[in-house]
Amino acid sequence: MDNLQGSKELYQRLALSENGFVFDPVSGQSFTVNETGIELLRLLQKSADIQQVQKALTDIYEAQPNELERDINDFTSSLSELMS
């Protein structure tokens, strides 16, 4: 599989339930995320542009931009590893 980190295709294929259960129909992997994770995944499903996602999260959470950017990168990197 190609490296899908930052790929809109990867995020959009994920089945995401209200309670944070996530299933990838391609890799068969499933996992749970917390409320912040749900929020982030929903944003990534709309746009894989990290800058846009970061801006949207800044409006929701009180966090420094560089801190948010690092957290988003960590999250998408873990996700990509899990989905490959």
Partner 1 sequence: MSNNKLTVAITGMNAKPDNPGPGLAVSRCLTESDNFSGRVIGLSYDALDPGLYLKDYCDVGYLLPYPSSGDDAFLERLTEIHEKEHIDVFIPCLDAELPSIIRLNSVINEMGIKTFLPTAEQFRLRNKDKLVELSKLAGIDCPRIEAISNTQFFYECQDDNWTFPLVVKGLFYDAKIVYNPEEAIIAFKSIAAEWGFPVLVQEFVKGGEYNLTAVGDGEGNMIGAVMMKKMAVTDKGKAWAGVTVLDNKLYEASHQLIKALNWRGPLEVEVLKDTKGNYNLLEINPRFPAWIYLSHGVNRNLPMALIKLAMNETPPDYEDLKPGILFIRYAQEVIVPMSKFENLVVNGIND
Stretch that binds partner 1, among 26-34, 44-52, 54-62, 65-73 (CB under 8 A): 26-34
Q: Is residue 27 within the footprint of partner 1 (CB under 8 A)?
A: yes
CA–CA distances in Å: residue 49 to residues 32, 40, 44, 57, 60: 23, 12, 8, 12, 17
| Least spacing, CB of residue 84 vs partner 1, in Å | 4
If binding is defined by CB under 8 A, does position 45 make contact with partner 1? no
Measured from the CB atom, the residue of 19 and 28 that comes closer to partner 1 is 28
Q: Which residues are within 8 A (CB) of 46 and not within 5 positions of it... i.e. 6 or more apart? A: none
Distance (Å, whole) CA 81 – CA 84: 5
Strands ordered across the beta sheet of 30-32 = 15-16, 21-23, 30-32
| 64 binding partner 1? (CB under 8 A) | no
Q: Per rule CB under 8 A, is residue 31 in the interface with partner 1?
A: no
Q: Which is nearer to partner 1, 3 or 52 (CB)?
A: 3
